[in-house]
Amino acid sequence: MAHFGSSLFLGLVVVVLASPASAEKVKPKTAREKAAQKACALGDYQKGVDILADLFVETDDPNLVFNQGRCYQQNSRYEQAIARFQEYLRKDDNLSENDKADAERRIRECEASLAKAAKAAQAAQPPAAAPAPVAPAETPATAPAPATLTPDVSTKPSPVAQQANPQPAGQSGSGFRTAGIVTAAVGGAALVASVVMNLKVNGMASDLQKTNGYDAGKVSDRNTYETLGWVGYGVGAACVATGAVLYYLGIRSGASESASVAFVPAFAPGQAGAVLKGAF
C-alpha cells in the first residue's frame, strides 16, 4: 500500500509540473483565434482569414477552413465563402452528419445572398439614355428619299411646313434651351442624391467598424447604397452633359436669323421614323 501511495504522489507531481507547459502551448493558438474572430467582426476579413490560414498550416485542423468561410460570409464575400465551405467538406472525411449539414446549409445561404445581390443590382440599372441630338441620323440606303417640307418660293407654304417652324428666328432656340435646363436640373438632382448616399455609406462603414457593431443586414444595405450612389453619379453626369449640349444648340439656334428646324418623315421596309433637319 505504501508503494501505491508513493506512485500516486509522483503521478500527481508530474501532472502538476506538466500543466503550465501545456497551457502555454495552447494559449497562443487561442489568442490568435480570438484575434482572427475580432478582425472578421470589424470588417477586416483579409486579416482574419490570413491568421486562420497560418493556424491551419501549423495544425491541419479543418475547422479553421470552416471558420475562414464564416469570416467571408460575415463580410458579404459570398463567392470566397462558398469556396472555403466546399474545401472544408473535402478536407475532412470523418465529418458527422450534423457538421456536413451545417456546411451545406451555409453554402445555400451564400448562394441565396448572391442571387439577391444580383437582382438588386439589375433593378438599380437606369434605363438607356436617349442620345443627344447632335447630328441627324443617316437615312438608310434602301429607304426612299424623304419628302422635303421646304416650301417653294413661288407657292404658298404647306400647313406641315408652317407647323414645323412656327416661331420667328429669334425664338427658334427656346425649346432647346428649355429642354437643356430641365435635363441639367434632373442631372443635378441625381448628383445630390448620390452624394447623400455616399455620406450614408461612410456613416454605416464607421458603425460597422465599432466593437460589436457588425451586422450582416447593415453590410448588405451598405453595399446596395454604394451601388445606387455610383449609378446616380453616372446618370447625373450624363444628364448635365446632355443639358449643356441642348442649351448650347438653343443659343446657336436663337442667335442665327437663318436658323431653321424641320421634322422630315422617313420610311423603310419594316420601319418608320422621323429625321430632325436643321441649320444653325
Q: What is the pLDDT of residue 145?
A: 60
Q: What is the pLDDT of residue 146?
A: 58
User: Do the domain assignments include residue 1?
Assistant: no
Q: Are 105 and 47 in a shared domain? A: yes
Boundaries of domain holding 207: 166-260
User: Do the domain assignments include residue 34?
Assistant: yes
Q: Which of 84, 116, 148 is the last residue of a domain?
A: 116
20 class by beta-carbon count within 10 Å (0-12 exposed, 13-18 middle, 19+ buried): exposed
Which three cell numbers, joined as nine digits, stand for 173?
432656340
User: Do the domain assignments include residue 138?
Assistant: no
User: Do the domain assignments include residue 12?
Assistant: no
Q: Tell me the average confidence (pLDDT) per consecutive run of 10 residues in the chain, 280 residues long.
A: 39 37 52 93 95 93 94 96 94 87 95 94 78 62 58 51 50 76 87 85 75 70 84 84 83 61 52 51
Q: Helix H segments across 75-96?
A: 78-91
Which three cell numbers, joined as nine digits, stand for 106?
451555409
Q: What is the pLDDT of residue 207?
A: 74
Q: What is the DSSP string of 232-262?
A: HHHHHHHHHHHHHHHHHHHHHHHH-TT-EEE
User: Do the domain assignments include residue 275?
Assistant: no
User: Do the domain assignments include residue 272?
Assistant: no
Contact 149, 158 (CB under 8 A): yes
What domain count does the chain have?
2
Q: What is the pLDDT of residue 140?
A: 55
List Cα–Cα distances, 106 to 85, 92, 164, 270, in angstroms: 8, 17, 65, 53
Q: Which of 116, 143, 178 is the last residue of a domain?
A: 116
